[in-house]
Amino acid sequence: MAGGLELLDFGGLEIFDNKWSFTLLPAVDDTYDLGSSTLKWKDIYVDGVAYVDTLSLLNVTAPAAAADQVKLWSADYTPGDARLYIQGESGSALSLGNGAIYSAGDLTLRAVSGSDVLIGHGTTTILYVDGGTGTVGIGTAALSTATLKTLKSYDSPAADVFGISVSHGARQTSADSAVISTAIYGISYLLASNTKNWTATVGLRGVSTYAVSVETGAAGTITGGAAFYVLNAVPAAMTLTNQYGLYIEDLTSGTNDYGIYIVGADTAAICVASADPIRLGLAGTGTGTMQFVGTTSGVVTLTVAAAAGTWTMTLPTAVGTAGYQLTDAAANGVCSWAAAGSLREYKEGIRPWANPQDALDVILGTQVYQFHYKPGMGTGDTVTEYVGLLADEAPWAMHYNGGVLNPINVCGYMVLGFQAIDKRLRVIEEGDWLKGQVRKALADNGFKSWLKEELCQL
């Protein structure tokens, strides 16, 4: 027959009314064609299996170009995993099979403009892309006011469940690097076409979340809920030098810049439920500062010296009595309320001072000096010239290890000194009275006569 077609077996050959009743085979495998690029069969009808190595579908809009075609073939994706491959005029092949779609290059999935893209199983839609708004829904229809909306409920979960779980990995193998690896990054920005003010208290938000939201009708008790929960790092064999639960860089772009702004909380705006300290300031960068703002006016700033030293201050266990002041009695930072209390019930071992003259002798034997305090010493006032005592020369007037003026002793010695002086003045005054009585008697003639008679008898 023409075209090199050879019938290998003529047994049962029958051609009647354009019908063949025999198997048609080529003489050589993978050599001869059925039709050509210029003489083509119109339609092919097959009731059974068509075994084709590669099927090329010509582009009906450009049938003359051999490259304008789509190819289909089957091959193993992995051994024992045969898949259907589809390759267009350009780009990489796409494989389908065993419930998977794989592209050797970029994979684009899109519907005609305005139409939605749905991905799911059975009648359930898992991924919903709204063709009108461009928003995405996971487990729910897309929300026009949310770029991404997810919805998934769990009935009595046996393990922790997550709305969104992000696992983000990176590594450096060639050299140390200062690049940043971020699991979730977002920005809320205004378009260049914006012309109006945003007047909400916080109109632009990077992240906004509820600690807990409960549907109407739910019952039970929630022990705790957190809008943000920071887990401890797991550095494994690596060394993590600094771990930050929340790191806020220096904010300088606003008229007012707040690292953390808390409108309020019924129990505590900030609660540190451990013995770990709240640290203000950073060595070599800035001294710690705390400000207290008055309800009506004024700001009180509390800070430390640049060379702050290292020590701990422990406050008393209760409020102090009126007129008392904080005192570090043991020089260890543990403060207590103290004052020169004078009520009898405050004291023990009470006994009177026997001889006021002794106190006066001590006072009179004490040298008094004029002096100025050194910077950071004493009262802290370096300008005033003081008149007072030296602790090593007047231990009777000191307390707290002999270094601080004892106002109680000073007052007591002063009173005793006045008593001793008063006693001396009384002796003097009594002597002057006696002299006056003698002079008065001598001026009396009757007394003189009596005195003369008495002297004569002697």
Q: Is the pLDDT of residue 458 over 70?
A: no
Give the model's pLDDT for residue 408: 93
> Residue 40 corresponds to which amino acid?
K
Q: Is the pLDDT of residue 318 over 80?
A: yes
> Cβ distance 111 to 120 under 8 Å?
no
| Domain boundaries along the sequence of the chain | 1-108, 110-152, 354-438
Mean pLDDT for the chain?
A: 86
| DSSP for residue 314 | B
Give the model's pLDDT for residue 3: 46
Give the model's pLDDT for residue 218: 93
Confidence of residue 432 (pLDDT cuts 50, 70, 90): confident
Tell me how far apart the alpha carbons of residues 340 and 405 are, in angstroms, rounded to a whole number.
12
347-371 per-position pLDDT tens digit: 999 999 999 999 999 999 999 999 9
Confidence of residue 387 (pLDDT cuts 50, 70, 90): very high
Reference 131, options 150, 118, 148; nearest CA is: 118
Give the model's pLDDT for residue 77: 84
Averaged pLDDT, 127-153: 87
200-258 per-position pLDDT tens digit: 999 999 999 988 889 999 999 999 999 999 999 999 999 999 999 999 999 999 999 99
Averaged pLDDT, 48-71: 73
Q: In the chain, pLDDT over 90 holds for what percent of residues?
A: 43
Give the model's pLDDT for residue 221: 94
Q: C-alpha distances in angstroms, 251 versus 9, 65, 189, 205, 260?
A: 91, 62, 17, 15, 11
Give the model's pLDDT for residue 15: 53
